[in-house]
Amino acid sequence: MPQHMATDEALFLSRREWLKAAGLAGIGIAAGTAGLSAMMGRASAAPITGFPATPNDSYVLDRALTAEQEATTYTNFYEFGSSKTIWRKAQKLETDPWMVSIDGMVEEELKIDAAELITKLGSQEERLYRHRCVEAWAMAVPWAGVPFSKLVALARPTSGAKYIRMETFYDPSVAPGQKQSWYPWPYVEGITIEEGMNELALLGTGMYGKGLEKQNGAPLRCVLPWKYGFKGIKSIVKFTFTDQQPVSFWEQLAKNEYGFWANVNPEVAHPRWSQATERMLGSDNRVPTLLYNGYEEQVAGLYAGMGGIGDRLFR
């Protein structure tokens, strides 16, 4: 390539234009962008790709999929406000590049761009899952992601580690909700390592055949279909392996309402909402809620030693 192209022009031409100008457009994207990033002296910035992901047919639904329009415009993301209609405000979130840390009790501490992390974790798949918010609305969604167990395998937790604490970004200049100082920002959630290794646990990267919308937690979120929705932390920046049970955002606000386990259980009412039935987004009818949100077969074994069904599943 001409000598001058490797210097100044690279700073103001877009990546694609630059690759074209430098005659690199045809060669492997990964090699091309990595080389360019190195020359430009900044973190590699390429969004997570690979959508639509390959369907994994093991996960079938007992109900119709929720319309994409419903699932992407009725969302809970308190960083952008406490109403369900914050999707426009969330567009301010810059999700590429997106640095993620893996730290704590692990053999392999890592600070890595989200797209590179997903590349390392292997191929993404699509799974149809139910989602149940503790407020009693529900949806059925085609998620994309990688099994969460792959992240555990990459991190290689040390023998004393029991839990994974996850944290959302903190930037009040982008997320107006984070200016509300009575909330314990940043949003935190946690699971046991055993839960993270369960086949159902998914590190979500997409929905409806595309990358995640910002309001749904781009670029990376947790998807735990047997637990109440608040466990499904969005826009994750940090995974910390620890021997201490993490205290979540909601648990810190109201311990009696939002427990650590938070497994879906129609028998145990939340102090403010019965959990017996749910409303699918886009419908006015209520349908029965199922134990573990219908995933008893896959996850009941995780809790067999905890005294079975009952209060502890919720708290």
By DSSP bridging, strand 210-211 and strand 99-104 are unpaired
Give the residue at shortest CB distance from ligand MTE. Answer: 229
Q: Taking CB under 6 A as the rule, which mask of x and - marks residues 65-84 in contact with ligand MTE?
A: ----------xxxxx-----
In contact, 188 and 248? CB cutoff 8 Å: yes
Query: Which listed option, ligand MTE, Mo ion, none, makes contact with residue 212 (CB within 5 to 8 Å by class)?
Result: none
> Which of Mo ion, ligand MTE, none does 77 bind, CB closer than 5 to 8 A by kind?
ligand MTE
Rule CB under 6 A: say whether 293 interacts with ligand MTE.
no
Q: List the structure tokens of 244.
A: 């201490």
**Choice from 32, 229, 259, 294 touching Mo ion (CB under 5 A):** 229
Q: Which parts of 72-131 interact with Mo ion (CB under 5 A)?
A: 76
- 230 touches Mo ion (CB under 5 A): yes
Rounded Cα gap, residues 46 and 304, in angstroms? 43
User: Binding to ligand MTE by residue 280, rule CB under 6 A?
Assistant: no
Match 């100008």 to its residue by tokens.
21
Per residue, the 3-state secondary structure of 60-127, as one string, reads: CCCCCCCCHHHHHHCCCCHHHCCCCCCCCHHHHCCCCCCEEEEEECECCCEEEEHHHHHHHHCCCEEE
Between 155 and 233, whose beta carbon lies closer to ligand MTE?
Answer: 233
Residue closer to ligand MTE by CB (options 18, 258) is: 258
* Distance from C-alpha of 275 to C-alpha of 292, rounded to nearest angstrom: 12
Binding partner of residue 33 among ligand MTE, Mo ion, none, CB under 5 to 8 Å per kind? none
The helix (run of H) or strand (run of E) holding residue 55 is: strand 54-55
| x-or-dash string of contact with ligand MTE, 213-232, rule CB under 6 A | ---xx-----------xx-x
Tell me the closest approach of the beta carbon of residue 101 to ligand MTE, in angstroms.
16
Contact 43, 27 (CB under 8 A): no
Residues that bind ligand MTE (CB under 6 A): 75-79, 133, 168, 187, 216-217, 229-230, 232-235
